[in-house]
Amino acid sequence: MISNQNYRGLIASPLSLAANLLLVDPGGLGGMHCKARVSPWRTAFLQQYLSRAESIGPVVALASHADERSLIGGVDWAASLRQGLACFEAGVLGRVNKGVLKVGMADRLNLTMAGLIAQAMDQGALPPTLGRDDAGCASGSDLSFACLLLDEALDEENAAPGLLCCRLAFWISEDNLLNQPLSMLSSADLSRARGFLRRCSMPGFAYTALSEAALTFGVDDLRAAQFALRAFRALLALARALDPQAREALDHEEALGAVAALVFGPRATRLPNSAEAALHQDQGSKGELPPADTGVDQRQAARDDQHQGRLRPDEARKREALAPELDGEQLQAATRSTAQTATRSATNSATNSAEASDDQPAISSQDESAQDGPRGVEQVLALAVAAAQALLPPGLLASGALAAAALSGSVSSGRSTTRSKAGLRGRSLGVREGLPGPRTRLHVLATIRAAVPWQGLRERSSKDALMRIERSDLRIHRYEQRDQLTTVFVVDASGSAALHRLAEVKGAVELLLAQCYVRRDQVAVIAFRLDQAQLLLPATRSLTRAKRQLAALPGGGGTPLASALALTTKLMLQWRRQGQRIQAIVLSDGKANIDLEGKPGRRKAMLDAQHQARMLARLTHRASRLVWVDTAPRPSSDAQSMAQLMGASYMLLPYANAQGLAALAS
Amino acid sequence: MKHVYPFAALVGQDDMKQALLIAAIDPLIGGVLVFGDRGTGKSTAVRSLAALLPPMQAVKSCPYQCDPKDRATICPHCKRLRKPQAVTVPVPVVDLPLGATEDRVLGALDLQKALREGVKAFEPGLLAKAHRGFLYVDEVNLLEDHLVDLLLDVAASGENLIEREGLSLRHPARFVLVGSGNPEEGELRPQLLDRFGLSIDVRTPKDLETRLEVLKRRDAFDQDPSAFCDHYESQQQALKALIVSARASLASVALPNEVMRYIAQLCMKLGTDGLRGELGLMRAARVLTAMRAQSVTSIQEVIDVAPSVLSHRLRRDPLEESASASVIARALRDMPSASAQAH
């Protein structure tokens, strides 16, 4: 066991561990996804980390408005025109070699940029620029850098592009590492460690231990295991740099446990405590359970664990704090399937919450067992699981389907791209006078054409330049970019006909998605029942995802129409900010009986709903199309007046069927 | 020289490797689509393919790497040459980045010449670079629509027609399109889907042994790329030899009548659109036969390639839940004559 204080500090603090390891092997570890809003903590962290990083290599920030050209470099127009030669300037990636690329507001990073950064990381070279084959990497050698993604997203839906996040070893967030002490090692130690990086011998069981740990945490991505291995190697190098005698004294199990927790913890898709049980279950059934079901099973398993007192006390407290959410979740999950199971699970969850409070004083037996247990792989697992408790994604306990938590991380596809309207792409609309800038492109031929008539009048500045071009000659491209259409179905899932209606909406969603690849349209589903509305399917264009998330739909209960309309308004405003056209199709008989606060009472509920309908009309009437589909057997005055308030067109479709709805939407 | 992870060192994912080799042997197969989770080695496999491809003959200094033997070329550079000089060049494997502009893909006005000499000259883009080679699109399902249009157009005609910025020319652009992506992030447009000859679903390996092997090999590669590549050199050479010999024997592979009948029956049973399914199945089965150093295609080869050829060609009922792979497996099992015709 190394007693060096710096080393002990590293092992004890995941944040310090991540930050220091990243400086030892920036290229190999890819970088860090830091999910935190601007706060004193984040500022202090960045300051400490970046000041150390600066002593090692360049730190280059990517501006939030940066475009493709400023990322990978391109033609320097001013110089080109001045000299009559095509002049190139290096982009951000050309300047970041062996350093840190700091991407602020990564949640707004569009896919194109993320794709280019990922490509540069994968290939160790700049993506080729037009007109220059050598890619223009300053030294022409391998390009390697660490990427620091500062993600300020409030929800999973708008997080930084998944294709970039999965290429970064460390995911930290303010939820799990807030207030952690950060200690950076000295530059001398770090650079010594970099020297040892290639000369560390790896204990044989490290591969097995890390592979096992990845499975235990349910981390499928093979990159994660590689990252853990590289992190372990960097930690070995660091240990040697800190303490030359480290080779004998180093506790490999402890080190492996720390890196496994650091890399796999935030990526976990299952609770490691119940992982063993889940594994056996999977093997037993010889088939993959649908994600929603596994989610329920694992929560159940987690509860069982808790029941048996295997959790640490702080964990149990945390769980208890989440208990109300869990119960809500449990209810939803249960009602998703059928009415019978609903009643059964409701009683279950009631008993469970009772158990949870009973279990609070439970004492952990895990630590003792870890000490007595056999050395090697098992110990690494135990250590990793213990160390990862604080690092698990907060959604893992609270959110419904565990698979969905993993999913939403990968699905967030930086939809904000649509906002850039002028664009450098799209169908050409011709040329207009103007200056080329980050969002516009020079039309060379038109510019030359505009300049030609004036040449006789202008003095030649140098012999080389064939023509003299002035500001007024510059012409830029105009491109048209088609808007995206987002269709949102707002479905009344209350009452007895709910299941049928939801099934038809599900069919319509799938038909729409199957038809609209070409238009790249998106579909979302809001369902309202019990005491509030819920976004069942966030806007997506993936049929696969829609199928998965709509696999089991909840139905029955009251009619919180006001809540549904409020949610619709909120989402429509959000989508409109992203530059999308929206159409909303409401399926309901308009008979609200739950008010905005979720309390029953028909009069207040109707008033609330009417108010929300007016708001919806006022806030979203432009660039959106609203349809009210009346699902009552006979035309109902409630629905008609509601449609009128909303400014929606009214349709009577008592037996709403999938084809009819899809036709209505397209 | 940067080392690329050797193709022979890839662990598992046999379907993907087989499909890529088939496309390498017979470019007319029409491209490979690899759909699956992140971190399953999709990009690694495609990028490692370049090292396996035997070098080809090309016209010297032709920007489109034209084949010197191809006298009917439309290449504006080679058309004028009476006796083209041949050089040996590697087969290009070109990456098409997600956010590429039309300029970059199609080619554009050569700035230098325009500014300095006042000449309208064409500067070839990625499509020109990929001619006679592979064009790889990672995250193909996120590709912008107008780029998909361009690709579809060029892939169908085998030539790139430029009508922009006062330029008007056409040049050959025949390439094997290789796409990869994650279906959770969006579907692929049917027209583009249809262009791919083979489609593969890759999954993350869940068993410890495979994952362990991946981890060990990758680590060994990271630690000492050149030693790692040396270690796999003989296997790489064997694969290269396989590609060369399979290409040579491909023309002489016989396709017996009963195998053709089996192919037709299978496609009818599955209700695939058009005849592309049958044609693709025939072609792929022959390539596989050549790869296995046999001279006559048997039903086994058809069965082995059927899932990758047909899975994306099934007429999809959006309300159908089961995966197309299992539909095909069921159809293959139900084929009455499968065992009878095999021998």
What CATH number has the domain bearing residue A575?
3.40.50.410
Mean pLDDT of A146-168: 80
Touching A: B residues 154-173, CB under 8 Å: 164-166
**Looking at the whole model, is its pTM more than 0.90?**
no
The reply to whether residue A443 touches residue B189, judged by beta carbons under 8 angstroms, is no
Please state which of the ranges A72-76, A355-359, A612-616, B255-259 shows the lowest mean pLDDT. Answer: A355-359
A139 or A600, higher pLDDT: A600
pLDDT at position A514: 73
Total domain count, chain A:
4
Catalytic residues of B: 276
Mean pLDDT of B195-222: 87
A593 and A476 fall within a common domain: no
| For residue A394, pLDDT beyond 70 | no
Average pLDDT over chain B reads 83
How much is the pLDDT for A506? 77
Contact list in A for residue B195 (CB cut-off 8 A) is none
Q: Is B243's pLDDT higher than 90?
A: yes
Q: Are the C-beta atoms of B35 and B180 separated by less than 8 Å?
A: yes
| Per-residue model confidence (pLDDT) at position A416 | 30
Which of A84, A224, A426 is opposite residue B146, by nearest beta carbon?
A426
Q: Can you give the pLDDT at residue B286? A: 93
Q: Evaluate whether residue A374 is within a structural domain.
A: yes
Q: Phi and psi of B115, rounded to 5°?
A: -80, -40
Residue B242's pLDDT is 92
Predicted local confidence at residue A456, as pLDDT: 60
CA distances from A13 to A18, A387, A389, A617, A618 (A): 9, 10, 13, 52, 52
CB within 8 Å of chain A, chain B residues 182-241: 182-190, 204-206, 208, 211-212, 214-216, 218-219, 222-223
In this structure, what token pair is assigned to residue A255?
């080190």
pLDDT at residue B229, rounded to an integer: 92
Judge whether A122 lies within some domain: yes
pLDDT at A504: 77
Please state the rounded mean pLDDT for residues A370-386: 63
- Range of lowest pLDDT (A218-222, A398-402, A641-645, A654-658): A398-402
Predicted pLDDT of residue B244: 92
* CA distance linking residue B76 with residue B78, whole number of Å: 6
Are residues A299 and A407 part of one domain? yes
Highest mean pLDDT among A235-249, A530-544, A596-610: A596-610
Mean of pLDDT values over B99-116: 74
pLDDT band at A332 (very low <50, low <70, confident <90, very high): very low
Q: Is residue A174 part of a domain?
A: yes
Residues in chain B within 8 Å Cβ distance of A514: 187, 316, 318
- Claim to verify: residue A30 and residue A130 sit in the same structural domain: yes
* More confident site: A60 or A446: A60
Distance CA A462, CA B100 (A): 35
A contacts of B138 (beta carbons < 8 Å): 115, 119
Within this chain, do residues A173 and A152 fall inside the same structural domain, yes or no? yes
A116–B97 C-beta distance less than 8 A: yes
Per DSSP, the residues of A257-277 read: HHHHHHHHGGG-SS-HHHHHH
Q: How far is B23 from chain A (nearest CA, A)?
A: 23
Instruction: Name the closest residue on chain A to residue B222, using Cα atoms.
Output: A28
For residues A182 and A327, membership in a common domain is answered with no
Mean model confidence pLDDT for chain A: 70
* CB atoms A222 and B2 under 8 Å: no
Query: Higher pLDDT residue, A552 or A410?
Result: A552
Subunit contact B215:A85, Cβ cutoff 8 A: no
Mean pLDDT (whole number) for A286-310: 40
**Mean pLDDT (whole number) for B60-67:** 82
Tell me: pLDDT of B271 over 60.
yes
Cβ B2–A125 below 8 Å, yes or no?
yes
Q: What CATH number does the domain containing A76 carry?
A: 3.40.50.300
Same domain flag for A62 and A198: yes
* pLDDT tens per residue across span A380-389: 777 777 777 6
Pair (A381, A497) in one structural domain: no
Query: For chain B, percent helix, then strand, then coil, each to nearest 5?
Result: 50, 15, 35
Q: What long-range pairs does A645-653 form, CB within 8 A, spacing at least 24?
A: A645/A610, A645/A613, A645/A614, A645/A617, A646/A565, A646/A586, A646/A613, A646/A614, A646/A616, A646/A617, A647/A617, A647/A621, A648/A584, A648/A586, A651/A627, A653/A587, A653/A629
Phi-psi region of B118 (alpha: psi -120 to 50; beta: other; left: phi over 0): left
Q: What is the pLDDT of residue A367?
A: 36
Are the Cβ atoms of A142 and B216 closer than 8 angstroms? no
User: Residue B109's pLDDT is what?
Assistant: 74
Residues A71 and A86 in one domain: yes
Interface with B, mutate which of A113, A199, A220 (most B CBs under 10 A): A220
Q: Is the pLDDT of residue A483 over 50?
A: yes
Residue A10 within a domain: yes
Testing the interface with A: which of B142, B148, B163, B218 to mutate, by most A Cβ within 10 A? B142
Residues in chain B closer than 8 A to A406 (CB atoms): none
Chain-chain contact of A125 with B97 (C-beta, under 8 angstroms): no
Rounded mean pLDDT, A504-528:
74
* A453: containing domain: 427-480
CA B22 to chain centre: 8
Using pLDDT thresholds of 50, 70 and 90, give the confidence band for residue A306: very low
pLDDT score for A320: 40
Do A448 and A401 share a structural domain? no
- A203 pLDDT exceeds 50? yes
pLDDT for A119 equals 81
A581's enclosing H/E stretch is strand A580-588
In a domain, A391, yes or no: yes
CA–CA dist B51, B72 (Å, integer): 29
Chain-centroid distance of CA B262 in Å reads 26
Cβ contacts of A223 on chain B, cutoff 8 Å: 38-39
Q: Which of the two residues, A508 and B53, has the higher pLDDT score? A: B53
> Is a pLDDT exceeding 50 seen at residue B70?
yes
Q: How far is B22 from chain A (nearest CA, A)?
A: 25
> pLDDT tens, B285-297?
999 999 999 899 9
pLDDT above 60: residue A283: no
pLDDT above 90 as % of chain A: 2
The verdict on B47 touching A (C-beta cutoff 8 Å) is yes
The pLDDT value given to residue A652: 74
Same domain, A299 and A241: no
pLDDT in the model for residue A423: 52
* pLDDT value, residue A371: 38
Task: For Cα atoms A478, A481, A483, give the angle at the middle one, nearest 5 degrees.
Answer: 150
- Domain boundary residue, one of A267, A295, A323: A267
Task: List all residues 6 or more positions away from B175 whose beta carbon is below 8 Å from its beta carbon.
Answer: B27, B94, B127, B130, B131, B132, B133, B134, B135, B155
Partners of B2 on chain A (C-beta within 8 Å) are: 124-125, 142
Q: For B106, which residue in chain A has the nearest alpha carbon? A: A130
The yes/no answer to whether this complex scores an ipTM above 0.90 is no
Q: Quick check: A517 and B188 CB within 8 A?
A: yes
Residue B285, pLDDT score: 93
Distance to chain A for B100, nearest Cα, Å: 8
The percent of residues in chain B predicted with pLDDT above 90, rounded, is: 18
Tell whether the model's pLDDT for residue A13 goes beyond 70: yes
Residues in chain B with CB shorter than 8 Å from the CB of A511 are 318-319
**Under an 8 A CB cutoff, do A130 and B38 touch?**
no
Residue A515 distance to chain B (closest CA, Å): 9
Sketch out chain B's domains with CATH numbers. 7-55+90-202 (3.40.50.300), 257-342 (1.10.8.80)
Is the pLDDT at A493 greater than 60? The verdict is yes
Q: What is the mean pLDDT of residues A620-627?
A: 70
Whole-number pLDDT of residue A390: 64
From chain B, the residues in CB contact with A508 under 8 A are none
Q: Do A251 and A125 share a structural domain?
A: yes
**Is the predicted pLDDT of residue B137 greater than 80, yes or no?**
yes
Q: Which of A7-16, A136-145, A410-419 has the lowest mean pLDDT?
A: A410-419
pLDDT at B202 over 80: yes
Kindly report which listed range (A438-452, A605-619, B51-65) carries the lowest average pLDDT score.
A438-452
Among A122, A141, A211, A230, the residue to mutate for chain B (most B Cβ within 10 A): A211
pLDDT of B153 above 60? yes
Question: Of A232, A252, A267, which residue constitutes the final position of a domain?
Answer: A267
- pLDDT > 70: what percent of chain B? 90
**Same-domain check for residues A287 and A173:** no
